[in-house]
A and B are shown apart, each in its own frame.
Chain A
């Protein structure tokens, strides 16, 4: 065997292949959020440029209307808005995924079949999923070309597990048990120097029972030699998100800009919810942001300082000493455990772009 190569292993299509590892061997497991947390801070290189989420913006430059509008994906006209609507208003748990080895887009049907067989086998072994429920689980994999940013991005891949109870009549609709979505929106950083055999879809969104995630994650990890890790969102990233999303123009400002802080290590834990009327929050942000289409670290700091000092003026509490755990706006909400909800279809790809960037920085 050549040095550096590994023993032959079965590829996704069952043929034995020799693989040349790109990085050292890692155990197959889905890692917890705690492991991921240390890595979600933007790397030092980004910080020195002052724009953790700024690379994409720097490239896109000014948008025509002179305000920071999170960019629309190139393929917005094509595709069915219905399909991307399934991403809205659901709580998605975030994972980062290392590039998939020898993932072939033409073989989605085969993969669905193999994954279905794997799930059935796991259930027979007694692992995974609900005891005592008589279910046939169907697996469907599909491409979502609507969810991509630049042309180098891979179109998203949607995985859906649906069930039909054996008791229910034949023509009843399948119930979706679990959904997962691999996507990459402006992930050029990662895909730039990627060898051909690898598919870059660094962001994974999961919705549904954890047991299904475990089974599906294991199958993908085994089959495509990738690693899933929970993606936590640091308070630092959360402040960027709330600043950016507060500035987005929405037709009807219905939901408040809410920040939730937690102070766990007191004798009695304390949670503080600080919700600001969206018009007032936007008015504040608008006076802070200097250049449309661009946000600087300083502007985010000023925004947060303003909110903190208004709070301190009333309550004499230093919010900056507490832990920011969740932010919520009309565009989206994000929790530090790596759970997001996207609420506005117009800004969907913008939010995915931020999350893609977080996922990439966890991988690298």
Chain B
């Protein structure tokens, strides 16, 4: 077995938390159950990985098998990566039957015709997701296994989720290979990025709970539970206002859990307007700003601003349209609405 493969397997195993190594090796299905029994999974990880490498040596592992282990790791720890969303378009309404073998063949052929040294690995999952791992090389160098790109494609949809490696120059080639293999004509990057792959899927597949306006003029009269000691002199100020805020929030954000995004960025190119009594800036040029919101769970955070008194309800449509418009990067110009997205065609 090649030392580079051995080292790669060793490092991949080291990344895995100790309690999960056995499970992942079983998923990998490259080492037999008997072989796995011989490994002591309670020792330090350094030793575990050494033993695993030994066993892989016995089975003559090559880079293809090692790449599968890497996909398995990244599928489970998908939220460690940053994912961008791409949308493919085809002209015409042909409803083609998706042939997986054909897809793989075309994809590999397109990539390999442009770049000799690539490692391409596929793995299918139950939710119709096809995971593709590509390690990039150059005409003179073997592929760099430590900086691969990952692609997740749901064949019944026009969406592709890409976690590019640092080597962004390979992105156009990757996009080309995807449209060729899937019989689309164009692909464009959506302005939508997050660590949470599932949330991105929720947003573009519209799986989050949408707010359907319901006609509910009066709150339902239920039996209110009285607290132990009710002092009638204590009233809630703004009670109706608080209820209004809750209601509006629900209409805007829906009832269910929000997709998980980490940030939203707005490039503002609007005019500065002040109230007339303030004798300030009145330029004819835009007041250029860049606003970035960040949070571990941005949408939940924004949802809680109005009840906390820090924002008006309803919140600005610039913020509430994020899931609906499936984007978290915006460029705002005066009165013309959102700037149209750019299309990248092959």
Contacts and interface: CB of A to CB of B under 8 A. Distances in A.
A270 interface: yes
Interface in A290-321: 302, 305-306, 309-311, 313-318, 321
Contact of B287 (A268, A280, A317): A280
B281 to A, nearest CB: 5
B75 to A, nearest CB: 26
A263 B286 CA distance: 28
Contacts of B93: none
A275 interface: yes
Contact residues on B (Cβ < 8 Å of other chain), bracket: 35 or more
A288 B282 CA distance: 11
Given A266-B305, A267-B300, A322-B310, A275 B281 contact: no
Nearest to B273: A313
A88 interface: no
Interface in B40-96: none
A102 B123 CA distance: 75
A275 to B, nearest CB: 5
Contacts of B305: 263, 266, 270, 317
Most B CB contacts (10 A, CB to CB) among A274, A284, A309, A314 go to A314
A24 interface: no
A316 B315 contact: yes
A269 interface: yes
B281 A302 contact: no
A311 B292 CA distance: 12
A287 interface: yes
Contacts of A313: 273
Given A268-B296, A269-B301, A306 B308 contact: no
A306 B309 CA distance: 20
A314 B266 contact: yes
Contacts of A276: 287-289
Contacts, number: 118
Contact residues on A (Cβ < 8 Å of other chain), bracket: 20 to 34
A194 interface: no
A271 B304 contact: no
A310 B308 contact: no
A277 interface: yes
A346 B288 CA distance: 27
Contact of B301 (A268, A273, A288): A268
Interface string B270-287: 101111001111110111
Given A306-B272, A313-B273, A314-B266, A272 B291 contact: yes
Contacts of B316: 314-317
A22 B289 CA distance: 52
B268 interface: yes
Most A CB contacts (10 A, CB to CB) among B272, B286, B309, B318 go to B272
B304 A306 contact: no
A57 to B, nearest CB: 22
A208 to B, nearest CB: 29
A91 B137 CA distance: 40
